[in-house]
Amino acid sequence: MQKTGGFFQAADLCISNHLISVLGFIGFLIAFVKHFRYLVLLLPIFLLGLSAIKGATRFSMYLGPILGAGFGYYFDLIYSYLYFYVDSIFRYISFVLFGFVVAYLTFPKKVLEIPPLPKLPKKLCQDFVNLSKKYSEAWLWTWWDYGYPLEYIAQVSTYHDGGTQTTYKTYFVATTFSNSNQTQVANTIKTISLIGLYGINKFLEKPKYFFSKLNTTSPSETNLIARKIRDYIFEGKILKNDLVLKELLAPYFKVKAENLSKDIADKLLENKTILFAFTDDEIGKFFWINRFGTWNFIKGDGDKAGYLPLSCAIGKLKTGSPALVCDMDKNKIIVDLITGASNAPMIRKIVISNNGKVILSKNVSATGNFVIEYIAASKKLEDVGGIKLPIKNVVGIYLINLKVYNSAFNQMYLLGNYDKKHFEEVYNDFPHMRVFKLKTGGT
């Protein structure tokens, strides 16, 4: 959620002139006090407008009418004065001139200087169009930010979008980004595809009943129940338990559970195309996605780890060996790309990936807890000290911890290491978008 940084930043979203913004705000306060009986109905809008000062930017839409009404009050005062004390011809001329002056002062001149930019990058929009040509009926599993554009442009169904991001599904999507076990990732996508939000809610409503069906006891505390449900989804136990599945799916078909076949999961999934998609904006968002995806139900928080950008360059050592040199906290990290020798024992390994495929991986220190990832999308590799490396079109160079390195997001999207038992790569426009098809047979 984007937030404003005070009155002027919120007002700038409505009026670019700070003087007009202040005068408009004062004008509304004067009018509100003097004509309280008539303007009291505007109080909710006024309060919502005020919330934009320290709250979400979207509330600035309520601040605009307040500033406009306040400035309009000055117009009313001036017109009343001109009407009673100035001759009719001069009255109208003065009023029109005053209007032109105000329009000139309030018109955002930068609008003429800065061309508007689309919210959705052109390259990603083209990816969505390409996706629609082959997979317009697919179900697409990805983070919610581009949910609406995907539904509109790619003509796919999404699991959550900007309007449904607060449901349990968002948590489970986040886990598939953070989880290092791709079998559990596949189980999660399959299970949520089958039982949906309805099934999760049903499980939470009657945990003792459903846990008994799974031959286990139900925890007494809500957070432990949630954790156990999550673990069973990870392990695929709900997928493999016909009794539970039929109980959860029967309401969809408006039949009794016993009337559903034992292989109901396979039958429902075999005709569905389910895609797992990654987009380049998720690198910057991974810190928050990962925090949700690693949520600890006891502590009430998740891992606060993501991709830390580094300033690095590939060069040569005095020995002639190619090396990666990075600036970090006024110190230099140097890694020999031939031997893996480094002056930084904190670094476990260095990985260089080009177009989503690892071309070099060197172990640095067995005790290190961090990995340096050099991510590029170069069409041509250049010779540096005897090895071919991507020098141009560098997407980013990042410092990440081992958990982030092993996550499905990192391994599948950035490094191209995916479990072929569960996934098939069907679209690769690295780094903009990468899509994997879930193999749905044999749940």
Domain-located, residue 433: no
Co-location of 109 and 135 in the same domain: no
Q: What is the mean pLDDT of residues 148-170?
A: 91
Parallel, antiparallel, or unpaired for β 370-376 and 394-401? antiparallel
Q: What is the pLDDT of residues 206-261, one digit of tens each?
A: 888 888 888 888 787 878 888 889 999 999 988 888 778 778 877 776 667 777 66
Question: How many domains are there within the chain?
Answer: 3
CATH number at residue 135: 3.40.1380
Place of tokens 């390195």: 405
Whole-number Cα distances in Å, 396 to 91, 326, 332, 349, 374: 64, 12, 18, 17, 6
Domain-located, residue 336: yes
Domain-located, residue 164: yes
Given 87, 113, 139, which residue is the final one in a domain? Answer: 113
CA atoms within 13 A on the CB side of 394: 17
Contact 329, 306 (CB under 8 A): no
Q: What is the C-alpha separation between 351 and 214, in angstroms, rounded?
A: 42
| pLDDT recorded at residue 296 | 92
Co-location of 130 and 267 in the same domain: yes
Q: Which residues pair with 224 in a beta bridge?
A: none
Q: What is the C-alpha separation between 49 and 352, in angstroms, rounded?
A: 49
**3-class DSSP assignment, residue 153:** helix
Place of tokens 């596949």: 186
Contact 437, 339 (CB under 8 A): no
Given 51, 83, 113, which residue is the final one in a domain? Answer: 113
Co-location of 97 and 178 in the same domain: no
Co-location of 92 and 128 in the same domain: no
Produce one character per residue of 337-368: b if its CB has 16 or more CB atoms within 10 Å, e if not: bbeeebebeebbbbbbbbbbeebbebebbeeb
| 392 — pLDDT class (breaks 50, 70, 90) | very high
Quote the tokens at residue 11: 């007002």
| pLDDT recorded at residue 322 | 95
Q: Which of 28, 12, 29, 15 is nearest to 103 (CA)?
A: 15
- Other residues' Cβ atoms within 10 Å of the Cβ of residue 303: 18
| pLDDT recorded at residue 2 | 54
Co-location of 270 and 131 in the same domain: yes
Q: Which DSSP state fits 307? A: -
Co-location of 23 and 80 in the same domain: yes
Co-location of 174 and 272 in the same domain: yes
Co-location of 194 and 102 in the same domain: no
Co-location of 320 and 390 in the same domain: yes
Domain-located, residue 259: yes
Domain-located, residue 239: yes
| 156 — pLDDT class (breaks 50, 70, 90) | very high
Which runs of consecutive H residues, i.e. helices, occur in 86-167? 88-106, 110-113, 122-135, 147-149
Co-location of 259 and 359 in the same domain: no
- Other residues' Cβ atoms within 10 Å of the Cβ of residue 76: 11
Q: What is the pLDDT of residues 289-344, one digit of tens each?
A: 999 999 998 888 999 999 999 999 999 998 899 999 999 888 899 999 999 999 99
Q: What is the pLDDT of residues 90-114, one digit of tens each?
A: 767 776 777 777 676 666 655 555 5
Given 113, 138, 156, which residue is the final one in a domain? Answer: 113
Domain-located, residue 44: yes
Q: What is the C-alpha separation between 234 and 87, in angstroms, rounded?
A: 82
Domain-located, residue 218: yes
| 73 — pLDDT class (breaks 50, 70, 90) | confident
Q: End-to-end alpha-carbon separation of the chain, Å?
A: 37
Expressed as residue numbers, the domain containing 337 is 308-406
Q: What is the pLDDT of residues 1-39, one digit of tens each?
A: 555 567 777 777 777 778 778 888 898 999 999 988 888
Co-location of 135 and 105 in the same domain: no
* Residue 157: pLDDT over 80: yes
Co-location of 269 and 139 in the same domain: yes
Domain-located, residue 298: no
Parallel, antiparallel, or unpaired for β 139-141 and 274-279? parallel
